[in-house]
Structures are given as structure tokens and as C-alpha cells.
């Protein structure tokens, strides 16, 4: 393969790497702040207490948990959907098939009837496509599930300000599953035939290098991703199609100790944490390029390009070791020149990178740490008396610092004894410093999410003490989370599932799932709809307490809908049969208790219990019968 292209792409990478150098310093601070560790320079300046209040970590975990609950609710509803386009198109062969079926029955389809059949078929294909995509999002064969990938993306978004989802790409896989063996037992078996599956993954900001001149993903002409591999992992690349075996083996032979440059190794060591080191030799830096190249550039590495298209632009994927091209292909996925999606916590209009929660809380976190250190330092020196000692007053072998009960103190003279020690106390400012700590704790709350969102109700006052007031406070606190969910919908869900739709239209062998569909991101709409619907249901519930409206609402259906919106686990609500059985048991228990009480009362009065009970039953039976029936019952009793 020609290495002119390798040198050109390596130059682009160097520019992208230099362009994000300043952002790496911010990320390093974010990383340490999330781990609740001081920066090395700051730690060297601290002489006493080194306590770090993990406020940033707690807030990040709280927001991450809440966002994931909204994106992937316990009810397992999708935060995405497909629907047929307003005027769906079907393959001409399907329409021909409908017309032939009608003709065989001696009928001719009108335009309206044909449109209804097309709509019905489009809806069926759309549902089948949804089921297929949902199956592809389940993890397996070394892949993480879509939910696990989104959690990593959301965590990176909160921690560093930018979350990156890569994919879908095309990957061949052997499907694994249990099958019944010849002896009748279940055995895990791997299919002998590979199948194409969409591949997706989360990408750390530390491994992504966008176009140096772009401030938005849409403006990127290219993007790089680097991989730090050992020798075995580099050789494993040969199991995938398109990699040049000769170039890889030659490069490994010429670089037996690896090629990880000192700058990247330093960044990796720093990222581990302060004071720790890691040996980084015998590691290789593999570059993955996605972007546009000319037909002439692609032809130089062996890709067949028609002569009339050499000046055209093509979406390409190139892999390199050093400046050696080890794979170069035209991007096989239609409609996805760059298979990456970026999502932001706080978007920066002047940069392709966003700002994370640690950056937002940087100064309140530092102020909170300083206040807590002052509090501990003051408490340490004010908890007991300070001692001034006249060392010349003691005998030579005496150490006044060794103080214990009933100690014998030898002095040179009586005057020395009176001047030997002096005790005094340092003032305590615990209350003032505690107030300062609360100020900065509240500031952290104001700039992120309230403490009660993480389960801490100790600070609840006023409206928060009532159920209605707490509901209003939680609804207001959800505004931040709604923005994050909406951002995920716009930047991750919609573009990713659009590419998943393209992938299945292009590579999936099933014809019954293909059609003209539209992508819908439902994360925010589902969240807001649930809140509104739950509020309305509670209003209806209050209205039905009024005796005037008794019987107008189906209590069972209303309760089921409320349970569904609250995402209560299955089994909490009884089925109609279980409820019937429960009511019968209660009636039987109540009747048994009443009879027992009546028997005890009759026994206390000295009455014949059996005769009295029989008489009472006859009276009740007579009251329930019509008049003629009463005479018949009387004659039968006589």
C-alpha cells in the first residue's frame, strides 16, 4: 500500500491532537474531581487536613441514575419508535401481488382499497423492523447492550461534557445459543455460518480526535479514534476483513518494543491518578480514520476507482500503524460518512467539546473543600489546651511532651516548677465554619440537583414537608433532567436509530421488514406525558371520592394505569380473579367471627345455641322468600 496517504492522514491527526491539547487539561481536572482527588499542585500546598468532600461524585451519580431511569424505564418502554411515512412506498412486486390476488378472485382493486392494503402492509413491516432493531440492541457475543453503551455515553457526557456513541458498523458474527444435542441434553453451540450484525460502542473522549477546524460534528471532514493495543490485539485485527497482513507483520517486526510515543504514555499515566505509574512499553498506537478522501488518494492504496471518478470525494475508513496504512475501504454504510454521535452536558458554541458537571462545580467544590479543611483544622487545635514549656526548668532526661495520669515531674527548683508549663486554649469557630460549609453545600445544590433527588430529605422545609409540595419540588427539579433527556433524544437517539434503519435496509436479508419509515425519539415526550397523565389521574381519583360520582369510573382500570405510570413492579396489583378470591376470604372470615361472637353471647345467656341458631336461620330464609313461599316453608318445617 502506498504510504503517501499514510503521511497525509498522520499529518491530519497531528493537527487534531494539537487542537484538543488545552481541553485535555480541563479533562484531567474533571477526572480528578470526579475521583475526589486533589490536583498535584494543590495537594502540595495543603499542610494539614487533606479531606476532599465528594460532592461532585455524588451529584454525578444522582443525575446519571435519574437520566438512565428516564431513558430506559422499568416498564421497558422504548425511548425510540418507527412509524410509516404519511404516504408509504412499497416494493412494486408487493403491489403487483395484491392486484394479482384480486384479479384471481375476479375483482379489481380501487385506488382507495389499494392504499388501505399498502398502509396495512407498511404498518406490519414497520412493527417487524422495530422488533428486529430491538433484538439487535441486546448484548451478546462480546458486545455490550445498547443500554450499557448509553450509560457509558451518559457518564462521559456528565464527567467530561461530551458523550460519544459510535456506530452502527457492519460486523460478521457467529450466533451462539443453546440447542438440544443428540443425547437430549441442552448444549451451548456456535453457528457455523456467520451473519451480519450492526456493531456499536461508546468511545471515550480521550480516544477521539475530531477535525481541528470544526466546532460542530456536522462540520467535521474527518474524525480519528486511537486504540492502544498490545502485540496480540494488533494481530487480532487480521481476523477482520480488509487488513493487510504483510504491512502489520513488517511493522511489528521493526517495532518490537512498541511505538507508543512519550506524550500519549504521559497522558495515560496521569489519567491513572496522582502518584501512580504504569509501564507503557510494548504497546502500539493504532489510528482509525473516518472521513472523506479523493478517488485518487484511495486509488493510491489499491482501491479500484473508475478513472472518471478519481477527482470525486468518497467517504472512507482507513486504519494505520504509525504512518503505515494497514486497511483502507470506502465506507460501506450509506448515509453515514462519520459514524459517530456527540452529545453534550453544556454545549460550547466555540468548540466541538462540551463542558461537564465537574467544570460547572469546580469553584463551589474547591470552596467546600477549603471550608471543610478549615473546620477540621480548627477543631483539631481547639479540642484541647495548647502547652508552652520552659525546657530549662526540667531535668535533662525529662520530656514534658510525655504527659499521662499520675506522672512524676522532677524540677530543678521551686521557681522552675512555677514557670515550667503554661496552658492556654485556641478559640473554636466550629459554628461559623459549619455555616460556611452549609453555604457552599447549598451552592452545589443550586448549580446541579437538590439533595432530595438523591434520597436526602434532611434539608426539606416548608412545602417539601407535604406530599403535594414535594411533588411540585421534584417536578421543578426534573427540568434539568428533561433538558438532558431531550439532548440525548436529539444528539444520540434520532441519528443513531436513523443509521440503524439505514443499516437494516442495506444489509438485512429479511424482506418483510423493509419499507419507508420515519424515526421518532420518544424519551422527552414519554417523560412529560407520564407526568401530565399521572397528575390528571390523581385529579380524577380525588373527584371519584365524591359520592355524587360513585360508579362512573372503572376503579380497576384507573388503578392499573396509575400503577403503570408509577412503574410499579409486576405482581403488586391483584388480578380480577385474585381480588374476587380475596374478597370471598374476607367475607368468610367476617361471617365466622360474627357466628363465633353470637354463639358466645347465647352461651352466656344459657340459651340452647343449636335451637336458637336454627330459629334465626328460618326467620332469615322466610324474610328472603315471597309470601307463598313462606307458607310452603312453614308447612315443610311443621
179 or 310, higher pLDDT: 310
Cα first-last separation, the chain: 116
SS3 call for 262: helix
pLDDT at 402: 82
DSSP type of residue 215: S
The beta strands (E) that lie in 408-477 are given as: 421-424
Using pLDDT thresholds of 50, 70 and 90, give the confidence band for residue 246. Answer: very high
String of DSSP letters for 373-415:
HHHHHHHHHHSS-EEEE-GGGB-TT--TT---TT----BSSHH
Q: What value does the mean pLDDT of the chain take?
A: 81
Confidence of residue 638 (pLDDT cuts 50, 70, 90): very low
What are the angstrom distances between the C-alpha of 339 and each of 14, 221, 320, 428? 21, 12, 18, 60
Q: What angle do CA 506, 508, 514 make, to 5 degrees?
A: 75
Q: Which long-range contacts (CB under 8 A, 24 or more apart) does 124-130 make?
A: 124/512, 125/84, 125/512, 125/513, 125/514, 125/515, 126/82, 126/83, 126/84, 126/515, 126/517, 128/510, 128/512, 128/513, 129/82, 129/501, 129/504, 129/513, 129/514, 129/515, 129/517, 130/78, 130/81, 130/82
d(CA 479, CA 63): 12
What is the pLDDT at residue 1? 47
User: Which residues neighbour 16 within 8 Å (Cβ) at sequence distance 6 or greater?
Assistant: 209, 210, 211, 212, 224
For residue 388, pLDDT beyond 60: yes
Query: Which of 47-51, 100-104, 200-204 has the least mean pLDDT?
Result: 100-104
For 226-244, how does the pLDDT look when each residue is reduced to its tens digit (9 = 90+)? 999 999 999 999 988 899 9
Phi/psi of residue 210, each to 5°?
A: -75, 170
Stretch 382-410: mean pLDDT = 81
- Asked if 70 contacts 78 with a C-beta cutoff of 8 angstroms, the reply is no
Q: Quote the pLDDT of residue 360.
A: 94
Distance CA 118, CA 116 (A): 5
Answer whether residue 633 shows pLDDT above 50: no
Query: What is the average per-residue pLDDT within 186-198?
Result: 72
Angle at alpha carbon of residue 197, lines to 65 and 486, rounded to 5° = 30
| pLDDT tens per residue, range 306-333 | 989 899 999 999 999 999 999 999 998 8
Three-state secondary structure readout of 100-133 = HHHHHCCCCCCHHHHHHHHHHHHHHHHHHHHHHH
CA distances from residue 155 to 52, 273, 286 in whole angstroms, order as listed: 21, 19, 25
Q: Is the peptide bond before 500 cis (omega within 30 degrees of 0)?
A: no
**What's the pLDDT band for 567 if we cut at 50, 70, 90?**
low
Lowest mean pLDDT among 358-372, 397-411, 479-493: 397-411
Q: Using alpha carbons only, what angle is made at residue 59 by residues 473 and 200, rounded to the nearest 5 degrees?
A: 110
Tell me if 410 sits within 8 A of 394, measured CB to CB. yes
pLDDT tens sequence across 9-43: 999 999 999 999 999 999 999 999 999 999 989 99
By the 8 A CB rule, do 213 and 200 touch? Answer: no
Farthest CA pair distance, the chain:
133
Average pLDDT over residues 495-520: 89
| Class of residue 135 by CB neighbours under 10 A (exposed 0-12, middle 13-18, buried 19+) | exposed
pLDDT at 275: 44
Set of cell numbers at residue 551: 360508579
In the structure, what pLDDT confidence band is assigned to residue 377 with cuts at 50, 70 and 90?
A: very high
Decide: 390 and 409 in contact? Cβ < 8 Å: no
Over residues 181-202, the mean pLDDT reads 77
What does the pLDDT read at residue 517? 86
Strands (E), 40-185: 80-84, 162-180
Q: Name the 3-class secondary structure at 626.
A: coil
pLDDT of residue 280: 65
Q: Are 129 and 82 in contact (CB under 8 A)?
A: yes
**In sequence order, what E strands does 265-409 have?**
284-294, 313-321, 324-330, 340-344, 386-389
Question: Is the model more confident about 265 or about 438?
Answer: 438
Q: Could you read off the pLDDT of 452-501 as tens digits, one per residue?
A: 665 555 555 555 555 555 555 566 666 778 888 889 989 999 999 999 99
The pLDDT assigned to 313 comes to 92
Structure confidence at residue 623 as a pLDDT band (50, 70, 90): low
**Residue bearing the bigger pLDDT, 580 or 136:** 136
Helix (H, G, I), strand (E, B) or coil at 32: helix
So what's the pLDDT on residue 277? 44
Percent of the chain scoring above 90 in pLDDT: 38
Does 395 score more than 50 pLDDT? Answer: yes
Cα–Cα dist 354/348, whole Å: 5
State the pLDDT at residue 627.
55
Read off the C-alpha cell for 468. 403535594
The pLDDT of residue 57 = 94
User: For residues 346 and 80, which has the higher predicted lDDT (pLDDT)?
Assistant: 346
pLDDT at position 636, please? 46
Amino acid at each position: 500500500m502506498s504510504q503517501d496517504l499514510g503521511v497525509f492522514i498522520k499529518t491530519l491527526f497531528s493537527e487534531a491532537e494539537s487542537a484538543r491539547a488545552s481541553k485535555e487539561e480541563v479533562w484531567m481536572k474533571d477526572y480528578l474531581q470526579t475521583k475526589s482527588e486533589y490536583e498535584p499542585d494543590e495537594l502540595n500546598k495543603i499542610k494539614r487536613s487533606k479531606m476532599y468532600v465528594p460532592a461532585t461524585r455524588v451529584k454525578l451519580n444522582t443525575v446519571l441514575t435519574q437520566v438512565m431511569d428516564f431513558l430506559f424505564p422499568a416498564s421497558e418502554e422504548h425511548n425510540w419508535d418507527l412509524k410509516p411515512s404519511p404516504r408509504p412506498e412499497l416494493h412494486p412486486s408487493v403491489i403487483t401481488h395484491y392486484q394479482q390476488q384480486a384479479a384471481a378472485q375476479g375483482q379489481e382493486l380501487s385506488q382507495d382499497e389499494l392504499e388501505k392494503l399498502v398502509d396495512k402492509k407498511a404498518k406490519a413491516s414497520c412493527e417487524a423492523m422495530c422488533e428486529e432493531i430491538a433484538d439487535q440492541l441486546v448484548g451478546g457475543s462480546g458486545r455490550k447492550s445498547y443500554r450499557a453503551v448509553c450509560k457509558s455515553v451518559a457518564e462521559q457526557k456528565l464527567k467530561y461534557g461530551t458523550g460519544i456513541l459510535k456506530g452502527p458498523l457492519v460486523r460478521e458474527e457467529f450466533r451462539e445459543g443453546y440447542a438440544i444435542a443428540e443425547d437430549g441434553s441442552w448444549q451451548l453451540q456456535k453457528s457455523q455460518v456467520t451473519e451480519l450484525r450492526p456493531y456499536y460502542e461508546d468511545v471515550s473522549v480521550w480516544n477521539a480526535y475530531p477535525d481541528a477546524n470544526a466546532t460542530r460534528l456536522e462540520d467535521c471532514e474527518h474524525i480519528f479514534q486511537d486504540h492502544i493495543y498490545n502485540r496480540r490485539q494488533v494481530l487480532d485485527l487480521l481476523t477482520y476483513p480488509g487488513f493487510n497482513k504483510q504491512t502489520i507483520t513488517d511493522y511489528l517486526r521493526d517495532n518490537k518494543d512498541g511505538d507508543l510515543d512519550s506524550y500519549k504514555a504521559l497522558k495515560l499515566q496521569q489519567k491513572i491518578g496522582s502518584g501512580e505509574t504504569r509501564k507503557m512499553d510494548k504497546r502500539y498506537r493504532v489510528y482509525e480514520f473516518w472521513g472523506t478522501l479523493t478517488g485518487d488518494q484511495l486509488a493510491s492504496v489499491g482501491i479500484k476507482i473508475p478513472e472518471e471518478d478519481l477527482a470525486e470525494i468518497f467517504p472512507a475508513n482507513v486504519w494505520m500503524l504509525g504512518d503505515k496504512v494497514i486497511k483502507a475501504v470506502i465506507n460501506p454504510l450509506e448515509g453515514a460518512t462519520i459514524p459517530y454521535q456527540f452529545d453534550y452536558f453544556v454545549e460550547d458554541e466555540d468548540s466541538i467539546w462540551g463542558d461537564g458537571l465537574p467544570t460547572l462545580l469546580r469553584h463551589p467544590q474547591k470552596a467546600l473543600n477549603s471550608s471543610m479543611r478549615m473546620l477540621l483544622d480548627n477543631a483539631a487545635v481547639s479540642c484541647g489546651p495548647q502547652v508552652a514549656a520552659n525546657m530549662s526548668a526540667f531535668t535533662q532526661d525529662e520530656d514534658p511532651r510525655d504527659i499521662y495520669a499520675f506522672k512524676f515531674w522532677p524540677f530543678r527548683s521551686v521557681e522552675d516548677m512555677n514557670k515550667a508549663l503554661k496552658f492556654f486554649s485556641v478559640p473554636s469557630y466550629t459554628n461559623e465554619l459549619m455555616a460556611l460549609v452549609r453555604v457552599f453545600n447549598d451552592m452545589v445544590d443550586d448549580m446541579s440537583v437538590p439533595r432530595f433527588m438523591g434520597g436526602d430529605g434532611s434539608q426539606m422545609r416548608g412545602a417539601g414537608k407535604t406530599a403535594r409540595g414535594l411533588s411540585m419540588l421534584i417536578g421543578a427539579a426534573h427540568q434539568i433532567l428533561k433538558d438532558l433527556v431531550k439532548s440525548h433524544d436529539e444528539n444520540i437517539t434520532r441519528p443513531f436509530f436513523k443509521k440503524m434503519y439505514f443499516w437494516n435496509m442495506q444489509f438485512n436479508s429479511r424482506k418483510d421488514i423493509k419499507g419507508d419509515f420515519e424515526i421518532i425519539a420518544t424519551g422527552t415526550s414519554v417523560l412529560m406525558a407520564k407526568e401530565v397523565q399521572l397528575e390528571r389521574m390523581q385529579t380524577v381519583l380525588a373527584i371519584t371520592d365524591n359520592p355524587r360520582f360513585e360508579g362512573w369510573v372503572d376503579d380497576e382500570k384507573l388503578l392499573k394505569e396509575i400503577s403503570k405510570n408509577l412503574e410499579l413492579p409486576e405482581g403488586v396489583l391483584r388480578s380480577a380473579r385474585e381480588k374476587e378470591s380475596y374478597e370471598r376470604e374476607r367475607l368468610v372470615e367476617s361471617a365466622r367471627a360474627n357466628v363465633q361472637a353470637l354463639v358466645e353471647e347465647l352461651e352466656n345467656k344459657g340459651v340452647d345455641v343449636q335451637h336458637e341458631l336454627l330459629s334465626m336461620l328460618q326467620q332469615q330464609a322466610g324474610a328472603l322468600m315471597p309470601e307463598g313461599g313462606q307458607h310452603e316453608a312453614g308447612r315443610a318445617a311443621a
